[in-house]
Every structure is written in structure tokens, then in C-alpha cells.
Amino acid sequence: MLSRQGVDEAHLARLKKDRKCIECDLSGADLSGADLSKINLNRVDLSGADLSGANLSGALLADVNLKGAKLRGTLLSGAYLGGVYLGGADLTGADLTGAGLEFSSLRGAICPEQLGLMAVNARIRI
């Protein structure tokens, strides 16, 4: 959808035009169902954003704040989520196949049980 009242319109426009948005504030944005595959979102605030059903496969999300974000059914296969904060985020039905979650925090996230098992073999704080 790529919208939200109150979201910095310049940041949203940059995301649409350049397919990257570094150090942007997209908190609370409605990005549900959006094709954000292979996008660069380094150091972005996506707290409270709705990314339900979005395609973020192969995306670069380093040091991103996803606190309370809706990631239900989001495709994150092959995405890099290093140093990401996912406290309170809803990952129900999200596909994290091959995703890199090094140094990320899942503490307080709503996530499938099998995601917690990934923490055994990766550097994830849960």
C-alpha cells in the first residue's frame, strides 16, 4: 500500500523512487502487500508499521527498529535482518527461510515456535 497519514512524505517518496531509504522514519507506515524485495532499509524506524503480506525477500534491513510491527505472512526469505529489534512484532506466518538474524532481538515478539529454535544456531537474543 505504501501509505500512512503522518508518515514523512519525503521518506516515503524516496522509498518508492529509489527502492532504498537509509535512516528514514517510516514508523506506523502501511506497507502491507508491498513489493519491497531487494530493498535497502538500513537504520530505518519501522516501529508500528504494517508490513503484513509484504515481499521483503532479499532485502537489507540492518539496525532497523521493528518494535510492534505487523509482519504477519511477510516474505523475508533471504533477507538480512542484522541488529534488528523485533520486540512486540507479530511474525505469525512470516517466511524467514535463509534470513540472517545475527545480533537481532526477538524478545517479546509474537513468533512461531520454530523461529525460537533458530536462535540455537544463530546469534539472536530472545
pLDDT of residue 32: 95
Question: For a pLDDT cut of 70, what percent of the chain falls above it?
Answer: 83
How many CA atoms are closer than 13 Å to the CA of 27, on its beta-carbon side? 8
- What lies within 8 Å, CB to CB, of 51 at 6+ separation is 31, 32, 34, 36, 69, 70, 71, 74
pLDDT band at 85 (very low <50, low <70, confident <90, very high): very high
3-state secondary structure (DSSP) of residue 75? strand
pLDDT band at 112 (very low <50, low <70, confident <90, very high): low
Identify the CATH assignment for 1-126 out of 2.160.20.80, 3.40.50.360, 2.40.50.140, 3.40.1830.10.
Answer: 2.160.20.80
- What lies within 8 Å, CB to CB, of 114 at 6+ separation is none
Calculate mean pLDDT across residues 90-101: 89
Calculate mean pLDDT across residues 62-86: 95
Instruction: Choose between 16 and 112: higher pLDDT.
Output: 16
Instruction: Choose between 107 and 125: higher pLDDT.
Output: 107
Q: How far apart are CA 112 and CA 42, in angstroms?
A: 25
Convert the pLDDT of each residue in 6-25 to its tens digit. 567 888 888 888 888 899 99
pLDDT of residue 9: 81
